[in-house]
Amino acid sequence: MTVLVRTKRKNALKYIHLGWITALVAGIATWALAQTLISISGASREVMEGVASFIAAIMLLYVGIWMHSKTNAQQWNNYIQKHVNSHIEAGTLWGLTSLSFIAVYKEIFETVLFYQSLLTQASSVQYSVVVSGFIVGCIILAIVAWALLKYSVKLPLAKFFSATTYLLLALAFILMGKAISALQEAAMLTISPLPIQIEVSWIGIGSTWQGLLAQIAVIVFFVVYFYSSKLKLKSNVQN
């Protein structure tokens, strides 16, 4: 949303809103299904979380690369001159909707599973405590979101894009590791353990070759792009 505001594309914000609002509706439907129709097995949950994390990781890496390509002042000016008076391509807009939907629905899905488990274990007199915690969490998230949107808009554009690039790269790295781990737990990927035990769950690092190589691939892909674009820029300057 900040990128769209900074690039004078406020008219495209509705595509972001469409994505997260649709995700909320889908989340409510998921909660209803979890309550009345289905019991989501551990394997099904891991498959859905793994696939969602994998897709989100790829999309975040793509957006991060796009942002990095705009950190150079000349490249940014060229981009503005080319697009400021034209509409963003429809495919890009619906891509924003998809990213917004996946990002929000993934969290809603995990929250539904968490609260389903929590309420199952809680007694009826404890429900109000659970609801109170949920409301407090929503308020804190709203404050954090407001602060991010308000103050990130005021950052220098190049610095904002540069910082966001590496934030998105880090998130892609984490989500890729979590995706592989979830798919392994669902027995959709084989497990080849590393010779040493390395488990840092908060950044998605596990003790398997598959997860480690997938995360390394994210970094290698970005590094290759980084240096190739740097060489290309240097060549253009010399010419």
Residue-by-residue DSSP string for 150-187? HHHTTS-HHHHHHHHHHHHHHHHHHHHHHHHHHHHHTT
Both tokens assigned to 101:
């939907």
pLDDT tens figures, 48-79: 778 777 877 887 788 778 777 766 555 655 55
Both tokens assigned to 154:
């005021």
pLDDT tens figures, 27-40: 888 888 766 655 55
Residue 69 CA to residue 63 CA, distance in Å, equals: 10
What integer best gives the mean pLDDT of the chain? Answer: 78
Both tokens assigned to 95:
């891509």
Return the CA Rg of the chain.
21
| Nearest-5° Cα angle at 194, 190 to 197 | 120
Least confident of 5-19, 79-93, 192-206: 79-93
Count of residues in the chain: 239
